């Protein structure tokens, strides 16, 4: 049974096929947008909200992740684009990409089998709505911004932790197999890492719902899509003149994360540059040089102050 509409209305629109239901919803709910009508038809057709939500999330993850990786795979095949490759000599071979694809697929099926059956009941407990119409774009924009900022903060600290001793050796090392990343490598990681860093993506919306009781499942679906795009693009290995970070200076993008894979230390955040900048963990030789210069200046200032103090005493 679905809770998207009341049972009397549901009986009036039910039909044997998805297209029958869609037609009935289009005829009786003209005020809804196209996407809202399709969403409502899907939940009505599935007639089982737990399965509908589980399947929706699985499909969105697979389609959006691999759909976003495909253009990067094609770009890797075209030499014209090499001039924008951050590590131009490191082009992933088709064999490497194939091995990575198989591993990511396997991990998707293993890690996601459980959430498929448990996600909807959890949403229901937290009051996450599946009803139509969807929230306004202003609500969506506000919630996406909050989730992006919180996920980035979570990612920064856990990723930094994953670079320590045993955490790196037994967990995070897998993700660093590719010193020159490519789109598909975004989710090439140990299951423990997938779950720990995945909390930043899924956990904050759940906490938000718990505290505000104001979250729609459509918002979570779009947020996960945006976060997947961010992760795949950050691993793409390309920095174009039209890449977002060239217009929004605090956006991390591929240039930021590529340096992390190249040098293994620094640039731990996912979406934004502000934590690595503020906490002095920027990666790469330029950042290192700047850091050393800053330290030298600080030491010189300290020595000068000390000399002044000694002079006064004398
Ligand atoms: Zn790392
Ligand atoms: Zn990475």
Give the DSSP letter string of 38-72: HHHHHHHHH--HHHHHHHHHHHHHHHHHHHHHHHH
242 assigned to some structural domain: yes
**Helix, strand, or coil (residue 3):** coil
* Nearest ligand by distance to the CA of 188: 2
pLDDT the model gives residue 161: 97
* Nearest ligand by distance to the CA of 180: 2
Which structural domain, as residue segments, surrounds residue 232?
Answer: 48-283
B/e letters for 107-143, b = 16+ CB within 10 Å, e = fewer, are bbeeebeebbeebbeebeebebbbebebeeeeebeeb
Tell me the average pLDDT across 177-183.
93
What's the CA angle centered on 64, arms 97 and 263, to 5 degrees?
45
CA atoms of 176 and 125, how far apart (whole Å):
38
Contacting residues for 237 by C-beta, under 8 A, at least 6 apart: 72, 76, 85, 86, 87, 90, 92, 180, 181, 182, 183, 254, 258
187 assigned to some structural domain: yes
120 assigned to some structural domain: yes
pLDDT the model gives residue 168: 95
241 assigned to some structural domain: yes
Report the C-alpha dihedral over residues 230, 231, 237, 238, rounded to 10 degrees.
Answer: -10
- Rounded to the nearest angstrom, the distance between the alpha carbon of 31 and the centre of ligand 2 is 44
Largest CA distance in the chain: 98
* Nearest ligand by distance to the CA of 236: 2
- Rounded to the nearest angstrom, the distance between the alpha carbon of 36 and the centre of ligand 1 is 39
CA atoms of 280 and 291, how far apart (whole Å):
8
- The pair phi, psi for residue 127, each rounded to 5°, is 75, 25
Tell me the average pLDDT across 215-244.
97
For residue 114, pLDDT over 90 is answered with no
* Nearest ligand by distance to the CA of 163: 1
Contacts of residues 170-179 at CB distance under 8 Å and 24 or more positions apart, as own/partner, are 176/261, 176/264, 178/92, 178/96, 178/100, 178/261, 179/87, 179/90, 179/261, 179/262
For 287-312, what is each residue's pLDDT tens digit?
Answer: 888 888 888 898 899 889 888 888 88
- Rounded to the nearest angstrom, the distance between the alpha carbon of 266 and the centre of ligand 1 is 8
The distance in angstroms from the start CA to the end CA of the chain is 88
- Rounded to the nearest angstrom, the distance between the alpha carbon of 74 and the centre of ligand 1 is 26
CA atoms of 270 and 251, how far apart (whole Å):
9
Q: Which residues pair with 216 in a beta bridge?
A: 129
DSSP 8-state symbol, 86: S
The count of structural domains within the chain is: 1
Highest averaged pLDDT of the listed ranges 2-6, 204-208, 261-265: 204-208
* Nearest ligand by distance to the CA of 257: 2
* Nearest ligand by distance to the CA of 185: 2
pLDDT the model gives residue 116: 74
10 assigned to some structural domain: no
63 assigned to some structural domain: yes
- Rounded to the nearest angstrom, the distance between the alpha carbon of 6 and the centre of ligand 1 is 49
**Mean pLDDT lowest among 87-91, 134-138, 217-221, 257-261:** 87-91
pLDDT the model gives residue 6: 87
- Rounded to the nearest angstrom, the distance between the alpha carbon of 235 and the centre of ligand 2 is 6
CA atoms of 40 and 36, how far apart (whole Å):
6
Q: Which residues pair with 85 in a beta bridge?
A: 238
- Rounded to the nearest angstrom, the distance between the alpha carbon of 87 and the centre of ligand 1 is 17
Tell me the average pLDDT across 251-273.
95
276 assigned to some structural domain: yes
89 assigned to some structural domain: yes
- Rounded to the nearest angstrom, the distance between the alpha carbon of 55 and the centre of ligand 2 is 27
- Is the overall model pTM greater than 0.85, yes or no? yes
Average pLDDT value over all residues in the chain: 93
* Nearest ligand by distance to the CA of 270: 2
CA atoms of 300 and 91, how far apart (whole Å):
44
């Amino acid at each position: 049974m679905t809770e998207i509409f009341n049972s009397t209305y549901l009986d009036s629109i039910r039909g044997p096929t998805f297209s029958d239901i869609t037609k009935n919803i289009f005829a009786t709910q003209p005020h809804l947008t196209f996407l809202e009508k399709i969403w409502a038809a899907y939940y009505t057709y599935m007639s089982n909200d737990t399965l509908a939500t589980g399947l929706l999330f699985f499909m969105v993850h697979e389609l959006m992740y691999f759909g976003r990786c495909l253009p990067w795979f094609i770009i890797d095949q075209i030499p014209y684009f090499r001039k924008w490759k951050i590590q131009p000599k490191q082009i992933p071979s088709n064999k490497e990409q194939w091995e990575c694809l198989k591993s990511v697929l396997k991990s998707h099926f293993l890690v996601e089998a459980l959430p498929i059956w448990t996600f909807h009941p959890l949403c229901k407990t937290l009051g996450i709505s599946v009803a139509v119409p969807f929230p306004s774009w202003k609500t969506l924009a506000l919630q996406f911004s909050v989730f992006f900022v919180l996920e980035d903060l979570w990612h920064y600290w856990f990723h930094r932790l994953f670079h320590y001793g045993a955490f790196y050796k037994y967990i995070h090392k897998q993700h660093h197999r590719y010193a020159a990343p490519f789109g598909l490598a975004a989710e090439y990681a140990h299951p423990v890492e997938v779950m720990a860093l995945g909390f930043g993506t899924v956990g904050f919306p759940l906490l938000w719902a718990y505290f505000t009781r104001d979250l729609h499942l459509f918002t979570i679906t779009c947020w996960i899509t945006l976060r997947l795009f961010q992760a795949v693009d950050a691993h793409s290995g390309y920095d174009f003149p039209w890449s977002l970070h060239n217009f929004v200076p605090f956006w991390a993008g591929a240039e930021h994360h590529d340096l992390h894979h190249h040098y293994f230390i620094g640039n731990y955040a996912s979406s934004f540059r502000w934590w690595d900048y503020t906490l002095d963990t920027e990666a790469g030789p330029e950042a290192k040089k700047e850091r050393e210069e800053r330290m030298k200046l600080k030491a010189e200032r300290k020595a000068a102050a000390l000399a002044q103090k000694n002079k006064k005493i004398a």
